[in-house]
Chain A
Amino acid sequence: MTEAQVMTGLEAAYAFPVVRRRFPIGQFATGFGAIAALAFIAAVVGKSQAVEWSAIPAFMIDPSILGGLLLTLQLTVAAMLIGIALGAVLSAMAISGNIVLQTMAAGFVWCFRGVPLIVQIFFWFNIALFVPDLKLGGIDISVNAIVTPAVAGLLALGLHEAANMSEVIRAGLLSVDSGQHDACRALGMTRGQALRGIVLPQAIRVIIPPTGNQAIGMLKASAIVSVIGMEDLLTRAQHIYARNFLVIELLIVASIWYLAVTTIATVGQHYLERAFARGYGRRNAARANAAVAAEDSRP
């Protein structure tokens, strides 16, 4: 430190006015209001004699409920995997520059994003009505045997998700600066090499948050398979309360499980985002300044 810098430091500390933060009165007021509102709701709910709170813990680990939870998780994971894989292919088609592929991708998205999910589920469930059997070579396959309710539900959720995911992935790919494409081409990479090796890894950073959103949406949307008799978490809860009339209790049980899985997914997403944030963020800014300063101080 030079003498001039020492002087400035001392002057700042002893001679010049120091900035004091304003007391955040607004935040205290809203905090107080929020606590009061929560206490009121808790009092109303807690006082209700109609809710048998003590029944909830037992149902949380009821084998039927856990079986339903497992199916919900299987459906969500499988449908998301179909959605991401097919969505990636569709988005690659959409930016390929090949007008036939582009039109095909756009047509798929238009159809499977535009028709309500519940309609698509009924459609797959009833597909045997107009395609009763498939003749492949000499083999005759009954469509009803292949498209079980499970397959119908998975197809509907997966294809609907693919339409949405293709737009999420396309947006991610478009977010990568055109200079990156120039650099790849100038270095002698083909379009495919550039996409897989350079562009996609950068796009993933942008793709992850909306994909997490989609996955959580899928977890809840999968409850829709109850309409074709699949026994997911919600359906199992409904079956139980149809017998014992503990409606609110079992809805709370299901809600707690949905919230628990969502929470785990959110935490997972956080770590995933951090893993792909390589090269971005605050730590980098600090190191950048250090690097520049080190460079400057060199003889």
Chain B
Amino acid sequence: MTATVDLMVRAEGVRKRFGDTEVLKGVDAMVSRGEVFCLIGASGSGKSTFLRCINHLETIDSGRLLVDGRYVGYEERDGSLFEVGERELAARRAEIGMVFQRFNLFPHLTALENVTRAPVMLGRMKRAEAIETARVLLARVGLADRADHYPSELSGGQQQRVAIARALAMAPKLMLFDEPTSALDPELVGEVLSVMKDLAREGRTMVVVTHEIGFARDVADTLAFMDGGQIVECGPPDRMIREPSHPRTAAFLSRVRLASHPPD
């Protein structure tokens, strides 16, 4: 298993079905430590489902999906996977941060409390320490002066930045982003992307499902195109955007390029 040491995510033949529809039809992917991995594709191609499988928000039906050399929700015994207990699963999930399309902030808590709640509840930090950490994190996402605001008092872009701070508070070794800018007004997209660029620059391992081709081109180490429940093409973003080798990648990119905003 020495080859897998530097792999943060290793997916092999991951399959997942919802009822009669097979959403993931054997997904293979490798994400190294410190890599930014952007996943693009049409809606319904399975990219969000794959992302949710990585931290076991969705179960898988077959295949291998390891994070940092280990299954998140399973244990392998005699060639089969068995689900782990709830506490064990929660502890493994806590090491993986996730940012959602619709922010999913806790509406009854202030920005600061949103960030401190999980570390305090899970016994990672004392309250005072958590508050201090949260203030630092909120300052990093440019919201030092919004700490006492409730989510309903913040714009979409501000909410998403609080959500990023909340995920970072658990000191995750891997960050998952599920279309983090898709629910934002166009003028608010930039502020969230710039926070994500900062994280990438720090060398964080990130898997990002996105429609922002410009962001993917600037920040991603690897760009993957998903279609029909499989990753059909994967490589350095520059080459892939310039000369996609798969006809469906080419078709998708030309559609997106027409719709996307001009590069900044």
- Residues of A in contact with B (beta carbons under 8 Å apart): 177, 179-180, 182-183, 185-191, 193, 197-198, 201-202, 205, 276, 278-280, 284-285, 287-288, 291-292, 295
Partner of A187, one of B86, B108, B118: B118
Cβ–Cβ < 8 Å partners of B100 in chain A: 179, 182-183, 186
Contact A295 B121, beta carbon cutoff 8 Å: no
Cβ–Cβ < 8 Å partners of A185 in chain B: 57, 90, 93
- The CA of A201 and the CA of B113, in the complex, are separated in Å by 14
Partner of B90, one of A190, A198, A292: A190
Query: Is B252 an interface residue when CB atoms closer than 8 A count as contact?
Result: no
Contact B118 A182, beta carbon cutoff 8 Å: no
Query: Is B102 an interface residue when CB atoms closer than 8 A count as contact?
Result: yes
Query: Is B126 an interface residue when CB atoms closer than 8 A count as contact?
Result: no
Contact A183 B104, beta carbon cutoff 8 Å: yes
Nearest first, the 6 closest Cβ-Cβ pairs linking A and B are A188-B94, A179-B104, A186-B98, A279-B150, A183-B104, A187-B118
Q: How far is the CB of B35 from chain A (nearest CB, A)?
A: 20
Query: Is B96 an interface residue when CB atoms closer than 8 A count as contact?
Result: yes
Cβ–Cβ < 8 Å partners of B55 in chain A: 186
Q: Which of these binds chain A: B8-16, B20-28, B37-45, B152-160?
A: B152-160
Cβ–Cβ < 8 Å partners of A191 in chain B: 86
Partner of A287, one of B94, B98, B122, B153: B153
The number of residue pairs between A and B whose CB atoms lie closer than 8 Å in the complex comes to 99
Contact B146 A291, beta carbon cutoff 8 Å: yes
Q: How far is the CB of B124 from chain A (nearest CB, A)?
A: 9
User: Which residue of A has the minimal Cβ distance to B155?
Assistant: A292
Query: Is B46 an interface residue when CB atoms closer than 8 A count as contact?
Result: no
Kindly list 6 other residue pairs between chains A and B, CB separation below 8 angstroms, not including A186-B96, A187-B167: A179-B104, A182-B104, A187-B170, A202-B107, A280-B152, A285-B153
Cβ–Cβ < 8 Å partners of A187 in chain B: 93-94, 118, 122, 166-167, 170
- Residues of B in contact with A (beta carbons under 8 Å apart): 55, 57, 86-87, 90-91, 93-98, 100, 102, 104-110, 117-118, 121-122, 146, 149-155, 158, 166-167, 170, 176
Contact A284 B57, beta carbon cutoff 8 Å: no
User: Which residue of A has the minimal Cβ distance to B156?
Assistant: A292
Contact B155 A291, beta carbon cutoff 8 Å: yes
- The CA of A148 and the CA of B106, in the complex, are separated in Å by 47
Cβ–Cβ < 8 Å partners of A292 in chain B: 154-155, 158
User: Which residue of A has the minimal Cβ distance to B110?
Assistant: A279
Q: How far is the CB of B94 from chain A (nearest CB, A)?
A: 3
A-B contact pairs, 18 of them (CB 8 A): A177-B104, A183-B106, A185-B57, A185-B93, A186-B55, A188-B90, A193-B122, A197-B121, A198-B117, A202-B106, A202-B107, A279-B152, A280-B152, A288-B149, A288-B153, A291-B149, A291-B155, A292-B155
Cβ–Cβ < 8 Å partners of A278 in chain B: 108, 150
Find the residue from A188, A193, A285, A295 having the highest chain B CB count within 10 A.
Answer: A188
Cβ–Cβ < 8 Å partners of A285 in chain B: 152-153
- The CA of A214 and the CA of B32, in the complex, are separated in Å by 57
User: Which residue of B has the minimal Cβ distance to A177?
Assistant: B104
- The CA of A292 and the CA of B167, in the complex, are separated in Å by 23
- The CA of A292 and the CA of B185, in the complex, are separated in Å by 13
Contact B121 A189, beta carbon cutoff 8 Å: yes
- The CA of A288 and the CA of B105, in the complex, are separated in Å by 15
Contact B104 A180, beta carbon cutoff 8 Å: yes
User: Which residue of B has the minimal Cβ distance to A183?
Assistant: B104
Q: How far is the CB of B52 from chain A (nearest CB, A)?
A: 8
- The CA of A202 and the CA of B91, in the complex, are separated in Å by 24
Contact B152 A190, beta carbon cutoff 8 Å: no
**Given A186-B93, A186-B97, A279-B107: A291 and B118 interface contact (C-beta under 8 Å):** no
User: Which residue of B has the minimal Cβ distance to A293?
Assistant: B155
Q: How far is the CB of B260 from chain A (nearest CB, A)?
A: 23
Contact B118 A188, beta carbon cutoff 8 Å: yes
User: Which residue of A has the minimal Cβ distance to B108?
Assistant: A279
Cβ–Cβ < 8 Å partners of B146 in chain A: 291
